[in-house]
């Protein structure tokens, strides 16, 4: 099976400190892949490099055969990469429906004139976005909450909404940054089921950072372990989690 993501010799420095060095990663299309490591290992920095928040000073990033190295966040999103954040970033004062509609900004457009005067073309585009957004909300069992303010949703539902909004961009690759952070065991299990469903329902390739080892071992086929900005171990999940280096550096933390 072809690779969705190919990362070679990726690196970046901050103030003389090498935060990520010679990072390499290959993820097959349709895979559910995990990136783990101790606090400060560089995991979120890798996500920021993959999504254009930071520009690497070495290496390359290929998405589905296209070079996205050093491109802007908007360009990378248009190319097919969407992400969520460890600290939920929703538009808290917008409705659940409008949060998902915000994900359509790259694919649904109308002129400023149409937006100001609510022309027929504006109403048509808005109706299309409403319909598509409701379809996505139904997948995540959030359609009943469409009119709620995002800020009024329970924490676990806000996590789901952030993933739903990411899916509205129709990505090829979904990056999840600690999606189970702050969740109780029941919410974590529901999240695991949802990630599996998203992968199967949308044919999605998923890369996640996660500290919850139950979640990682339960859904990820392969793992990369990062430590001090370098790859410590890589391979099938069971093999990686039994690697003595990983137990020392991460599981024994």
> If pLDDT is split at 50, 70 and 90, which confidence band does 113 have?
very low
Contact (CB, 8 A) for 91 and 105 = no
Q: For position 99, what pLDDT does the model report?
A: 93
Burial of residue 146 (number of CB atoms within 10 Å: 0-12, 13-18, 19+)? middle
Mean pLDDT to the nearest integer, 69-76: 95
Domains of the chain, start order: 3-80+171-251 (3.40.50.300)
pLDDT greater than 50 at residue 253? no
**In this predicted structure, what is the pLDDT of residue 129?**
82
Q: Is the pLDDT of residue 110 over 60?
A: no
Give the span between the Cα atoms of 137 and 133, in whole angstroms. Answer: 6
| Dist CA 164 CA 171 (whole Å) | 11
d(CA 49, CA 34): 16
Q: Is pLDDT above 90 for 125?
A: no
Least confident of 39-48, 84-93, 166-175: 84-93
User: DSSP secondary structure string, 15-29?
Assistant: TTEEEEEEEEEEEET
Burial grade of 151 (CB within 10 A; 0-12, 13-18, 19 or more): exposed
Partners of residue 205 on adjacent β-strands: 173
**Residue with more model confidence, 245 or 155:** 155
Would you say residue 185 has pLDDT above 90? no
- pTM, 2 dp: 0.87
pLDDT at 1 over 80: no
């Amino acid at each position: 099976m072809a690779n969705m993501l190919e990362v070679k010799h990726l690196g970046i420095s901050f103030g003389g400190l090498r935060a990520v060095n010679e990072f390499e990663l290959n993820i097959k299309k349709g895979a559910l892949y995990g990136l783990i490591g101790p606090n400060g290992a560089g995991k979120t920095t890798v996500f920021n490099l993959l999504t254009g928040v930071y520009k690497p000073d070495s290496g390359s990033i290929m998405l589905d055969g296209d070079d996205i190295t050093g491109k802007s966040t908007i360009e990378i999103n248009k190319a097919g990469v969407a992400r969520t954040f460890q600290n939920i970033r929703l538009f808290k004062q917008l409705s659940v429906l409008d949060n998902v509609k915000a994900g359509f900004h790259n694919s649904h457009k109308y002129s400023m004139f149409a937006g100001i005067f609510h022309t027929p073309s504006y109403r048509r585009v808005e109706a299309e976005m409403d319909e598509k957004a409701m379809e996505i909300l139904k997948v995540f069992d959030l359609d009943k909450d469409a009119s709620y303010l995002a800020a009024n949703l329970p924490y676990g539902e806000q996590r789901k909404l952030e993933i739903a909004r990411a899916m509205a961009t129709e990505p090829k690759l979904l990056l999840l940054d600690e999606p189970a952070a702050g969740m109780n065991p029941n919410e974590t299990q529901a999240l695991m089921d949802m990630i599996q469903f998203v992968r199967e329902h949308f044919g999605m390739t998923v890369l996640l950072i996660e500290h919850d080892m139950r979640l990682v071992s339960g859904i990820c086929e392969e793992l990369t372990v990062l430590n001090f900005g370098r790859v410590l171990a890589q391979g099938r999940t069971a093999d990686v989690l039994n690697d003595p280096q990983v137990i020392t550096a991460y599981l024994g933390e």
